[in-house]
Amino acid sequence: MITLIGVGHVFAISDQVKNLIRTKRPQVVCIELDPARFKALKSKVSTKNVPLQYRLLSYFQTRMAGKFGTEAGDEMLAAASAAAEVGAKVALIDVDAGAVLAMLWKKMSFKEKLQLLGGAFTGLVVSKETVERELERYENNEEQYMEALGDGFPVLKTILIDDRNKHMAEKISALTTEYTEILAVVGDGHVPGIAQQLAEKQVETIRLRELRKLPTESPPSAEYSSSFWYSDQ
């Protein structure tokens, strides 16, 4: 069984993610990170030396996460922590962020770059209420939402969404040759695409809307292993 958990990087959902892993006790927990980003999250490394577009996204996520009472990326660290508790392997399944951003910037048209930077600067002053409304609009008709994204930002959608969906699905699929119980924590927008790529497998999805409604209390549990190791394969 493959379980796909859809998360949002600015929401306070770490407890829910942990509880799902403690309850399901998978053999492998896949995380939508590459080794460099995982290391940066754990050590709280500054993003001063990375490209402007990445700094803007990071600043927006950090600022908005604060409004929701959490820190950006906490749900990913929570997933790794819970994996250690249940003795599961952690697999880092995402593409290298630096390479993706370099390719994105190289292939985007000048118009698309301007639109992206304009949206990024606008996002710096967006409110918590606006994020909730936008999320609701996406959840009510995600297919139409993604089509609109593709119309406005065709290169961005291909590189940041479609190509990464395929890459992460391939990583998960490769793990099924060795493991039977796999849980993956990925951005909610990636869930439909990854699930489609894994159509021949047995896949369960838990979307962000459902996740946010789950209780935050820890379930009754047995003793957990304290071991922790990860692979980027």
| pLDDT tens readout for residues 121-151 | 555 455 566 666 777 777 777 788 788 888 8
Q: Do residues 206 and 16 touch, judged by C-beta distance below 8 A?
A: no
Beta bridge partner(s), residue 31? 92, 185
Which residues lie closer than 8 Å to 85 by C-beta, 6 or more apart? 18, 21, 22, 224, 225, 226
- pTM for this prediction: 0.78
Per residue in 18-33, pLDDT tens? 999 999 999 999 999 9
Overall size of the chain counted in residues: 233
